[in-house]
Amino acid sequence: MEHMNRREFVATVGGAAAAALGGCAGLKGGRRPNILFIPIDDLRTELGCYGRDHVISPNIDRLAAGGTVFSRAYCQSAVCNPSRASLLTGKRPDTIKVLDLHTDLRDVSPDVVTLPQYFRRHGYYTASIGKIYHNIFPDETSWDERKYLDGFPFDPDAVYLGDEGKAIQEQRKQRLAAAGRAEQRKDRFGHFYLKAQATEAPDVPDNAYYDGAQTDWAVEKLKELKERTQPFFLAVGYYRPHLPFNAPKKYWDLYDRRTIPLAENDFIPKNVPPMAMNNLRELRGYTDFARHGMPHEDRLSEAEARLLKHGYLASVSYIDAQIGRLLDTLDETGLAGNTIVVLWGDHGWKLGEHNSWCKMTNFDVDTHVPLIFKVPGAAACGRQSAAFVEFVDIYPTLCELARLPVPADMEGLSMKPLLGNPDLPWKSAVFSQFLREGGWVGPDGREYNGYSIRTDRYRYGEWYHRDTREIAGVELYDHASDPGENENIASRPENAALVQELSGRLQAGWKAALP
């Protein structure tokens, strides 16, 4: 697909989307609603339905047009494992003790009942494919059926189909074999997990990569589930737009790299505590960016920045096309009228903001997330809510919508009232946290816990030495004058009373912010 066909592509898909939308008809009869649960890795709010017109996302926009878009939704931690574990348990990271990428939820909170597990206990057939929990912790307990695709690695995000990527992977295999370490880099299926470059754009069909192939399976699974008497909870978790930005060429061809808007605040925030920044470790894991240093000492060239943003947008459009296939199948099978669709990105992602890339901070660009609920019959169909909501709210919301009792130990608040009236007075603040692990900040090798509160006007944060609990850094950003969080104003004398007030609200926690 040539770039000149971009307008035609949007018009064609957008027209089909509008025709297939089906309005806001109510849930059918007395049956419990089905749930189609769609996590998308590293998806930030750079989408058409969030006002970003340069992004080609007609199918996600179609879902938004028939649902409710939450414009101020926040994750509890801006990295995959704690964010997903928190959402899927309705509990905050400190409660479930999952703060990093390598802690298995079941090791530290073995008796917790997850969202799909709860629905399973209440008569739902639960099935999943792709990345729902963190890649390496699929939590088989949650599912009646957990699907893995033949021919793909257990963790299929680093699949390369172009000649350059495959050659780099082969060279790495040979080096590992020569060092006697080849078996250490194989997954449970016997596949190697090896990264190469950060992007590729081969001319291949959608299902040559995992996300397209899993959509093939999910489409057929929806048709099969339609014939069951049980309601279903089907989770389809997409890997793109996580690095590497590997997507079929036709999605790259939708964008002109020269005109893609780059981050306006591509500089380190003034007065920022060093542990508040991330160190690009994730991006430096790819061969063509391995030479780069920390954000305070190095920066990507404009050509590199444009390449990465081009790859990110192409990956978003690739996933958007897969979402369209799922929505089409709901319409074609007649399931749309009794199926709640929930689409979410597990955290935000920096695309050059603060001279940085990837996630792993408490900055708003990392904790602010896309969240769309499409509930047939909801009064807020086609509307947007600016209420503060959090990922811990999704579990109790789905329970209420499915007419299941809400567990008493939830640490979130059901959003069901907002689906009736999106303008209701709601939470006064939302909360996020991040564990900055040893060696990521500098030569001291110390670990830091960062806690953040986002109010209507401010984001305030505190960083503590993890071992001593001594305070090591304070952040304050005024979103009325500085929505990009470009200057930390916590140390200004005139803000001393405000810092004290916000610190008190941070310590009071989420219960004090409830409506």
Tokens found for residue 287: 């061969």
Which among 372, 420, 413 is positioned nearest to 65, based on CA atoms? 372
Distance CA 247, CA 263 (A): 22
Of 75, 134, 347, 358, the catalytic one is 134
Asked if 217 contacts 330 with a C-beta cutoff of 8 angstroms, the reply is no
Which residue has tokens 């990093």? 100
Tokens found for residue 4: 């000149």
Question: Which is it for strands 245-246 and 199-200: parallel, antiparallel or unpaired?
Answer: parallel
- Helical (H) or strand (E) element with 455: strand 448-455
Amino acid in the structure at residue 438? G
CA distances from 233 to 120, 194, 275 (A): 8, 33, 39
- Helical (H) or strand (E) element with 315: helix 302-333
Tokens found for residue 338: 């009794």
Grouping H, G, I as helix, E, B as strand and the rest as coil, residue 246 is: strand
Tokens found for residue 95: 């409660």
Distance CA 492, CA 217 (A): 56
* Residues contacting 324, CB < 8 A, separation 6+: 13, 17, 58, 59, 62
How many C-beta neighbours within 10 Å does residue 297 have?
8
Distance CA 352, CA 457 (A): 24
Distance CA 13, CA 7 (A): 10
Question: Which is it for strands 383-390 and 68-74: parallel, antiparallel or unpaired?
Answer: parallel
Give the CB-side neighbour count of residue 228, counting CA atoms within 13 A.
17
Tokens found for residue 89: 């348990």
Distance CA 13, CA 30 (A): 34
Of 49, 75, 80, 381, the catalytic one is 80
- Helical (H) or strand (E) element with 420: helix 416-420
Distance CA 456, CA 453 (A): 10
Residue 491 burial (10 A CB sphere; 0-12, 13-18, 19+) = exposed
Active site residue 134: yes
- Torsion sign (Cα): 270, 298, 239, 334: positive
Write out the catalytic residue numbers: 80, 134
